[in-house]
Each structure stands twice: as structure tokens, then as C-alpha cells.
């Protein structure tokens, strides 16, 4: 028995030595990976133990809560800091990361190690890795696929008395909404309702002011009503696209959803607040990124079949959802780039990606998500696939922060504070964004 | 014969060193002592100020170190001073400043007046009252968000108890009309004790003999208050107003935690706006101009105020 065990260990060691050059060289390095502080980060710590065992390197982690993540990490990159060797930066940072020289270009490394972007979900390659968009210049490996979707209280939806009341009120069954209008009806239906002696509300949606919250929420309505970031034929031409009639209707829809179907006091809510509201039984619906779904399933109050999941419903102009997620990049200021590239090489392996999904990380590797068993592997897996097929992302320009802050200001002022009209808010957004692009020399 | 420590040090100084020191004038020795402080002041205060003024005339962005820095003259200043959003933040700051100072002075003086009376448990009450100012502003901002929660917040329930309103029917930090008051209330709760302490120091500095003389002259309590108490406490009050004014002009952490500057831009104070421009948008040149404008404003107002304060003290 001992001999078999010994042989197994020796075989494992040989395999590790063969795949991990650093282990063979014996150059053990302390690597620091920077990311947001959230559930997937804990899963990555678990996953990375395999890398430590195989490579001999030690992994350290610098996780920052989402509201401060961009501030903290962009400060680090802009100052040329060496805290992070690997950065799982937000998708919108890719332009700045590439143009300002923060990220190492990975094309040669990918070619040398047989890593091809054809193996990853196309939307994640465009969203997380490419700059300029649509060109084969890669500055990251898609690391965590994410998208805004909806979670709902299936157990409430299935109650006969609620079904009957909803049917008589709206003339259709209480079920997963096919359109945003239907979603608003459901939110309104649950607003202020007494369920098991507790007053509950319709939907927890993104309204946060300080970082990116309301933008990540309102875009799910804007896209589906016809909002476009620019003229598809003329880059950076915004007027008539950002503030089109459809975009105005989309913004008005989001405000009406906020006014009619959200909990009182939810004027500054983002991921964490929405999770809390949902898990504590305050709301029937929750808008949130897909990363929360494993946590919902595991929750004793709302998990275990009590919750269901659906992609962002369609609007008059189509069905789209806001892309989340991140790619993993090597920081150009790191003096441990070889070891960092080793990590990426290890992370890109199909078996590691499969384990990543098992631990709660959303792999973007086609081999994982196109596996016949994937869609049924978790209750939310099919919704994840459906949602990833309809994604759109915010600007990823180097000036994305200016663009984001302007949008946060204008959207919050209209949706939450009720200042002016939707048309005025979007017209002002066009002015703000135009000024940014003029400053950037792109107009 | 006794010898002082200075004599002992002088005798212990080696002859060579003593000769060198004897060759220095008092003025030189004075310079040697103050030089480190002056150097630090120049390095930490003056140089950054001059550098900020220089950057304010450029389009420099700290996150684009590879880009050429262009001289833009007064464009940054012109953009700031003609920007409606900037003026809106100025208005929000003015509202916050005026009301916090007014409430803190009134309540602080009233509390100091009460605490100044001799009663049992005086020390305990003083300690309890000053407790809020010992907390971190970020912590205060954070827990006031819970107090203001419409569904579970104590504040809403207290208001509902006295008015009969539905506690979930209003949101202090989500309503555009209430949010400016929400930050005023939280700041007043936190910093009134500071004003109270300063007023208390003023009240306790008034000699009892003045009141005794007034009593002999049969001056009423009201007359004593307006002719003795108020004039003698006024310099202390004005000092408290100066401190709170400067502090609240640069208020950041409490408000960011409480409202994030929202809803919309309703509670976006100038310091929050400046931080966004400087460290989120990375418009270094623009934000430098913004900082210079704020500096000149605060410095100018403070100078006028200090002159008035000195006049009151000299009376």
C-alpha cells in the first residue's frame, strides 16, 4: 500500500515538474494577486493552493471591497506600484491598462504556450482581454465570466393564492417575466405585500451612487430600449444614440421601476445591499451579478430550491444584459513577471478551469461551459449561459472613469433624486461624454 | 558654589567644539535651530502649494505620465467657475456649513450653560455628551445610515412616534429634500460636544466676582446673561465657529459614508467633488485649479474672520 502511495506521489510530482518550469528550476517566488473582496476571491484562494503545490511558489492575495476596489487598484497601477504581480482588474480597465502600460501584452506568451482566445467565450475575450476592442491584442486572460441577471423567490411565485391574485390582476400567470414591463408588474405586485406576517417589497435594483452601481443597473434597461454608446458607423458620435428616443424610454422605465417596486431606503444599493435584502426576505426579485448565485443556493433561507434565476428580460429593442467579470493580467511593474505568467499558464488549463467552476468561479473557457453536463450542473448554470449570450459592456476606454462618473451623476440625479427629465439627463450625459472625448483628443 | 546644568554642559563641551560654537553669532545659532522646521515646512507645505498652482495652469493627468503636459492658461479656472455642477456643490457646501455651525453653536452653548451649573452627576453627563466626538467620522457616517434606514432605523421610528408618520414612508438619505438635512443632523450630533467644551471653557473663565457685583447692582439674570456672559464667551464661541467652519468646509468621510454625495448631487460637497476630479477622473490640472480656488476661498474667509475675532478679543 505504501509503495502504491509513494508511486502516486512520485508520479504527481513528476507531472507537476513537467508542467511547471519554476518548480524544476527551484525558483520559488512570492506572488501577489490583486482582486476584489467577494465570494469568488475566496474560491480562488482555494483553487490557487493547487498552483502553490505544483509550482512551489507562494500566493498572497490583496482583496479590496468593491466600492473601493477601483480607487485602490487604479491608484496602485497609476503610481507604478509593485504590490500586485497579477491583477484581476475590472473589464473597463483594459483600455487604460493597455494604453498606459500597466498590463503586459500577452500575445507572444499565448502563442508560445498554446493558449488561444478561440477557446474562450467570445464576449469575455472582447470584454476582458482585447484592446482595442475587436483586435487580436490581448492584455488579459478571461478569468471570471459575469453578467447581470435576476434572482426571484420561486417559493413565493408558486403560492396558489398569489398566483390567483396575479392572474386576476394582470391576466397572466405569475411566472418568470419575458419582458421588462412584465418584470415591473411583478415588482409592483409584491411591493408592500404582507407575506407570512412580514411586509415585503418588489425588487432590489442597483442604485448606488459612489462607484458604478447605478450605471451597472440602468444599462440593463437602456440597452433593451435602444440605447447605443455611439454611432455604429462613426466612433465617438454620441448624439442621437446615447439620447435616442429609445434610450429615454429605457431610462424612464428604470425610474418607474425604482419608484414603484423597490424597498424604501434603497437609494444607494449595490451588490451587497441587494444580497442582504434578498436573503433576509425583504424582496421578491433581485438584480445582481451572477457571482452571487452559488451563495444564494447555499443560503438556508432562500437556497435549496426556494430561488430561481432568469436572464435580464427583453425590451422593445431586444434582449441584452450588462457584462460583469474580469480578466487576469500581469502587471508590467512587477519584477516577478515570469512566475505571474506561470500562474496564467496554469490557470488556463481546462482541468483547472473545470475545478474553478466547481468551486464557484465562473469559467469563461468554452470547454467548461459547452460541456454537455454544464447546463444542469447547477440550478443557475443555464441562466448563466443564456445571459452570457446577450451581454453588452460599458466603455473600456482609458478615460472610462470620467465616462463612468458622468453617467453615475446623471443617472442618479434623474432616477433617484428625480431631477429634470430622462431626456435632459441623457442630453447632459452626451455633453459630458463629448467633453471627455474632446479632452482625450478623440473628437 | 552651585552650578547650573547649562554650566555643566558648557564645561563638558570639548574645547575644539566650544571654539567653533563661540565663533557663531546668536543669529546663526537661531537659524541652525529653526532650519529643520523651515525645511520641513517648505518641503511639505510650500513646495506642494507652488507645484499645485503650477499644475492648475496645465492639462496634466497623473494617470497619463507619458502624455505631454500642455499649458492651458486660465482654462481650468474658467471651466470650474462657469460649471453649474460646481456651483451646485458650492451651494450644498454652504447649506451644510451654515446649518451645522448654527445648530452646533446654539445647542453647544445651551449644553455648556447647563453643564456649567453645579449638579449631581455633572462629570458623568459631560463624559456622556462628549462621547460622539471621540468616534471616527467614517464610523458615525456608517451607523447613521442604519439609523436612517426606513424599515429598521431608529431615527425613522422616533420621528414616526412623534408625528404619526409611517416610518417606512420617508427616506432621510434617499430623498432629495431630506438628504441635506440628514448630513446636517449627523454632523451636529457628532460635533456639538466640541462646541460645548469650548463654550464651557469660556463660561468657566468668567470670574464669579463679576456676577456678584452684578447681583449687588440688582442686575436681572437676563441682563447678566447679555452683558456679562455673552460678551465674555463670545471670543470662545467665535473660535469654535472658526474651527468648525474650517473642518466642515473640508468635510468628506462622514458624508461619503452616509450618502455617497447623493441622491443625485444633492449632498456632493466640494471636497467630495474635488476628490472625484483628482483621484477618480485623474484630471490633475483641473483638480489643482479647483483646489486653489477652494484654498483661496477658505484662506480669504478665515483671514477676515480672524481679524473680526481679534477685534472682539481686544474690546
Residue B1: pLDDT band (50, 70, 90) is low
User: How far A129 CA sits from the closest chain B CA (Å)?
Assistant: 21
Q: Are residues A334 and A404 located together in one domain of the fold?
A: no
- Cβ-based burial of A116 (10 A; exposed 0-12, middle 13-18, buried ≥19): exposed
Question: Any idea what the Cα angle at residue A358 is, between residues A356 and A364, rounded to 5°?
Answer: 45
Q: Are residues A266 and A387 located together in one domain of the fold?
A: no
DSSP string, A257-303: HHHHHS-TT-TT--HHHHHHHHHTT-EEEEEEEGGGHHHHHH-TTT-
Q: Are residues A226 and A361 located together in one domain of the fold?
A: no
Q: Are residues A317 and A330 located together in one domain of the fold?
A: no
Which residues on chain B are in Cβ contact (under 8 Å) with A210? 256, 260-262
Please give the grid coordinates belonging to residue A73: 487598484
- ipTM summary value: 0.74
* Closest Cβ–Cβ partner in A70, A74, A209 for B261: A209
Q: Are residues A115 and A66 located together in one domain of the fold?
A: yes
Do residue A409 and residue B85 have CB atoms under 8 angstroms apart?
Answer: yes
Do residue B174 and residue A71 have CB atoms under 8 angstroms apart?
Answer: no
Into how many domains does chain A fold? 2
pLDDT of B42 strictly over 80 = yes
Q: What does chain A come to in residues? A: 443
Please give the grid coordinates belonging to residue B90: 458650492
Please report, for residues B93, B179, B236, B250, the alpha-carbon distance to residue B189 in angstroms, rounded to integers and kept in the order given.
18, 15, 20, 18
DSSP string, A83-148: S-SEEEEEGGGHHHHHHTT-B---HHHHHHTT--GGGB-HHHIIIIIBSSTTSS-BS-EEEE--BE
- Cβ-based burial of B286 (10 A; exposed 0-12, middle 13-18, buried ≥19): buried
Tell me whether B59 touches chain A (CB under 8 Å). yes
- What is the DSSP secondary structure assignment for residue B43, as one 8-state letter? I
- What is the DSSP secondary structure assignment for residue B268, as one 8-state letter? -
What is the number of H-type helices and E-type strands within chain A?
20, 12
Residue A22: pLDDT band (50, 70, 90) is very low
DSSP string, B285-315: HHHHHHHHHHHHHHHHHHHHHHHHHHHHHH-
Structural domains in chain B? 5-55 (no CATH), 76-314 (1.10.3720.10)
Please give the grid coordinates belonging to residue A63: 482583496
- Domain span at residue A337? 2-145+324-392
Q: Are residues A188 and A283 located together in one domain of the fold?
A: yes
- Residue B14: per-residue pLDDT: 80
Q: Are residues A418 and A365 located together in one domain of the fold?
A: no
pLDDT digits (tens, 9 = 90+) for A81-109: 999 999 999 988 999 999 889 999 999 99
Q: Are residues A263 and A360 located together in one domain of the fold?
A: no
Helix-helix angle A160-170:A180-190, to 10 degrees: 120
Do residue B64 and residue A398 have CB atoms under 8 angstroms apart?
Answer: yes
Tell me whether B102 touches chain A (CB under 8 Å). no
* Closest Cβ–Cβ partner in A71, A267, A409 for B279: A71
Do residue B262 and residue A96 have CB atoms under 8 angstroms apart?
Answer: no
pLDDT digits (tens, 9 = 90+) for A360-384: 899 999 999 999 999 999 999 999 9
- Residue B207: per-residue pLDDT: 93
- Which chain A residue lies closest to B145 (C-alpha atoms)? A265
- In a mutagenesis test of the B interface, which of A102, A259, A264, A439 is the best target, namely the one with the most B β-carbons within 10 Å? A264
- Which chain A residue lies closest to B147 (C-alpha atoms)? A265
Q: Output the average pLDDT for chain B.
A: 90
- Residue A390: per-residue pLDDT: 95
Query: What is the C-alpha R_g of chain A?
Result: 23
- Residue A313: per-residue pLDDT: 98
Cα B146 from Cα B148, distance rounded (Å): 5
| Cβ pair A94, A115 in contact under 8 A | no
Between strands A141-144 and A148-153, the pairing is unpaired
Cα A386 from Cα A275, distance rounded (Å): 22
Torsion over CA: B190, B195, B197, B200 (sign): negative
Residue A143: pLDDT band (50, 70, 90) is very high
Q: Are residues A96 and A169 located together in one domain of the fold?
A: no
| Cβ pair A212, A408 in contact under 8 A | yes
Largest CA distance in chain B: 87
pLDDT digits (tens, 9 = 90+) for B204-257: 999 999 999 999 999 999 999 999 999 999 999 999 999 999 999 989 999 999
Asked which of A168-182, B19-33, B68-82 is least confident by mean pLDDT, the reply is: B19-33
Largest CA distance in chain A: 78
Query: Any idea what the CATH number is for the domain that residue A42 is in?
Result: 3.40.190.10
Q: Quickly count: other Cβ atoms within 10 Å of residue B104's Cβ.
A: 25
* Closest Cβ–Cβ partner in B64, B149, B280 for A100: B64
Q: What does chain B come to in residues? A: 315
- Which chain B residue lies closest to A76 (C-alpha atoms)? B63
Which residues on chain B are in Cβ contact (under 8 Å) with A419? 176, 264
Cα B69 from Cα B67, distance rounded (Å): 6
Q: Are residues A232 and A295 located together in one domain of the fold?
A: yes
pLDDT of A429 strictly over 60 = yes
Residue A330: pLDDT band (50, 70, 90) is very high
pLDDT of B30 strictly over 70 = yes
- What is the DSSP secondary structure assignment for residue A66, as one 8-state letter? H
| Cβ pair B69, B58 in contact under 8 A | yes
- Residue A13: per-residue pLDDT: 40
pLDDT digits (tens, 9 = 90+) for A202-252: 999 999 988 899 999 999 999 999 999 999 999 999 999 999 999 999 999
pLDDT of A24 strictly over 60 = no
Q: Quickly count: other Cβ atoms within 10 Å of residue B210's Cβ.
A: 14
Q: Are residues A140 and A100 located together in one domain of the fold?
A: yes
- Residue A15: per-residue pLDDT: 43
User: Where do we find the cell 462618473?
Assistant: A405
Please give the grid coordinates belonging to residue B148: 436612517
Which residues on chain A are in Cβ contact (under 8 Å) with B148? 265
Q: Are residues A268 and A414 located together in one domain of the fold?
A: yes
Residue A1: pLDDT band (50, 70, 90) is very low
Do residue A208 and residue B171 have CB atoms under 8 angstroms apart?
Answer: no
Amino acid at each position: 500500500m505504501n509503495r502504491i502511495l509513494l508511486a502516486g506521489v512520485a508520479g504527481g510530482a513528476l507531472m507537476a515538474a513537467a508542467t511547471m518550469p519554476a518548480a524544476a528550476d527551484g525558483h520559488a517566488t512570492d506572488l501577489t494577486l490583486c482582486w476584489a473582496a467577494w465570494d469568488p476571491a475566496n474560491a480562488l484562494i482555494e483553487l490557487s493552493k493547487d498552483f502553490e503545490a505544483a509550482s512551489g511558489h507562494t500566493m498572497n492575495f490583496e482583496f479590496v471591497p468593491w466600492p473601493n476596489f477601483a480607487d485602490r487598484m487604479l491608484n496602485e497601477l497609476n503610481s507604478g506600484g509593485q504590490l500586485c504581480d497579477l491583477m484581476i482588474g475590472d473589464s473597463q480597465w483594459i483600455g487604460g491598462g493597455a494604453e498606459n502600460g500597466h498590463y503586459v501584452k500577452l500575445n507572444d506568451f499565448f502563442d508560445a504556450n498554446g493558449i488561444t482566445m478561440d477557446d474562450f467565450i467570445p464576449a469575455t475575450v472582447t470584454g476582458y482581454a482585447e484592446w482595442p476592442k475587436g483586435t487580436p491584442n490581448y492584455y488579459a486572460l478571461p478569468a471570471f465570466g459575469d453578467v447581470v441577471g435576476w434572482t426571484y423567490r420561486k417559493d413565493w411565485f408558486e403560492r396558489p393564492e398569489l398566483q390567483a391574485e396575479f392572474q386576476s390582476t394582470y391576466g397572466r400567470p405569475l411566472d418568470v417575466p419575458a419582458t421588462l414591463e412584465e418584470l415591473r408588474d411583478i415588482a409592483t405586485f409584491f411591493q408592500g405585500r404582507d407575506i407570512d406576517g412580514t411586509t415585503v417589497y418588489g425588487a432590489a435594483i442597483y442604485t448606488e451612487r459612489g462607484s458604478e452601481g447605478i450605471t451597472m443597473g440602468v444599462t440593463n434597461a437602456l440597452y433593451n430600449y435602444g440605447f447605443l454608446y455611439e454611432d455604429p458607423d462613426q466612433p465617438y458620435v454620441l448624439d442621437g444614440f446615447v439620447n435616442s428616443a429609445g434610450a429615454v424610454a429605457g431610462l424612464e422605465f428604470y425610474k418607474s421601476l425604482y419608484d414603484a417596486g423597490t424597498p424604501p431606503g434603497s437609494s444607494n444599493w449595490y451588490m451587497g445591499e441587494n444580497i442582504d435584502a434578498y436573503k433576509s426576505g425583504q424582496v421578491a426579485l433581485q438584480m445582481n451579478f451572477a457571482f452571487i448565485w452559488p451563495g444564494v443556493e447555499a443560503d438556508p433561507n432562500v437556497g435549496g430550491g426556494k430561488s430561481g434565476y432568469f436572464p435580464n428580460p427583453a425590451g422593445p429593442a431586444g434582449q441584452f444584459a450588462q457584462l460583469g467579470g474580469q480578466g487576469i493580467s500581469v502587471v508590467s511593474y512587477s519584477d516577478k513577471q515570469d512566475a505571474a505568467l506561470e500562474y496564467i499558464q496554469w490557470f488556463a488549463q481546462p482541468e483547472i478551469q473545470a475545478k474553478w467552476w466547481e468551486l464557484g468561479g465562473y469559467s469563461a473557457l468554452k470547454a467548461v461551459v459547452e460541456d454537455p453536463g454544464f447546463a444542469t450542473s447547477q440550478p443557475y448554470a443555464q441562466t448563466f449561459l443564456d445571459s452570457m449570450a446577450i451581454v453588452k459592456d460599458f466603455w473600456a476606454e482609458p478615460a472610462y472613469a470620467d465616462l463612468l462618473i458622468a453617467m453615475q451623476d446623471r443617472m442618479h440625479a434623474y432616477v433617484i433624486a428625480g431631477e429634470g427629465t430622462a431626456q435632459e439627463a441623457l442630453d447632459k450625459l452626451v455633453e459630458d461624454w463629448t467633453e471627455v472625448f474632446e479632452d482625450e483628443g478623440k473628437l | 558654589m552651585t552650578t547650573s546644568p547649562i554650566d555643566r554642559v558648557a564645561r563638558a563641551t570639548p574645547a575644539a567644539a566650544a571654539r567653533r560654537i563661540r565663533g557663531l553669532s546668536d543669529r546663526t545659532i537661531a537659524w541652525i535651530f529653526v532650519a529643520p522646521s523651515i525645511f520641513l515646512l517648505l518641503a511639505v507645505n510650500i513646495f506642494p502649494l507652488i507645484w499645485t498652482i503650477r499644475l492648475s495652469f496645465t492639462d496634466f493627468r497623473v494617470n497619463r505620465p507619458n502624455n505631454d503636459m500642455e499649458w492651458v492658461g486660465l482654462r481650468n479656472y474658467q471651466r470650474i467657475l462657469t460649471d453649474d455642477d460646481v456651483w451646485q456643490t458650492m451651494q450644498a457646501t454652504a447649506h451644510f456649513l451654515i446649518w451645522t455651525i448654527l445648530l452646533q453653536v446654539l445647542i453647544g452653548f445651551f449644553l455648556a450653560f447647563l453643564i456649567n451649573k453645579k449638579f449631581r452627576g455633572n462629570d458623568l453627563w459631560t463624559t456622556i455628551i462628549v462621547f460622539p466626538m471621540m468616534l471616527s467620522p467614517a464610523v458615525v457616517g456608517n451607523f447613521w445610515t442604519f439609523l436612517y434606514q426606513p424599515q429598521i432605523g431608529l431615527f425613522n421610528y422616533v420621528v414616526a412616534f412623534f408625528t404619526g408618520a409611517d416610518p417606512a414612508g420617508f427616506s432621510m438619505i434617499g430623498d432629495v429634500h431630506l438628504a441635506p438635512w440628514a448630513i446636517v443632523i449627523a454632523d451636529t450630533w457628532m460635533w456639538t460636544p466640541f462646541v460645548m467644551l469650548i463654550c464651557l471653557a469660556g463660561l468657566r473663565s468668567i470670574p464669579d466676582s463679576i456676577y456678584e457685583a452684578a447681583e449687588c447692582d440688582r442686575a436681572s439674570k437676563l441682563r447678566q446673561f447679555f452683558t456679562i456672559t455673552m460678551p465674555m464667551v463670545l471670543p470662545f464661541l467665535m473660535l469654535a465657529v472658526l474651527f468648525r467652519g474650517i473642518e466642515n468646509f473640508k468635510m468628506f468621510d462622514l458624508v461619503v459614508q452616509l450618502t455617497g454625495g447623493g441622491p443625485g448631487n444633492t449632498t456632493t460637497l466640494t471636497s467630495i467633488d474635488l476628490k472625484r476630479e483628482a483621484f477618480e477622473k485623474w484630471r490633475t490640472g483641473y483638480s489643482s485649479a479647483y483646489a486653489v480656488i477652494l484654498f483661496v476661498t477658505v484662506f480669504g474667509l478665515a483671514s477676515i474672520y480672524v481679524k473680526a475675532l481679534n477685534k472682539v478679543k481686544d474690546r
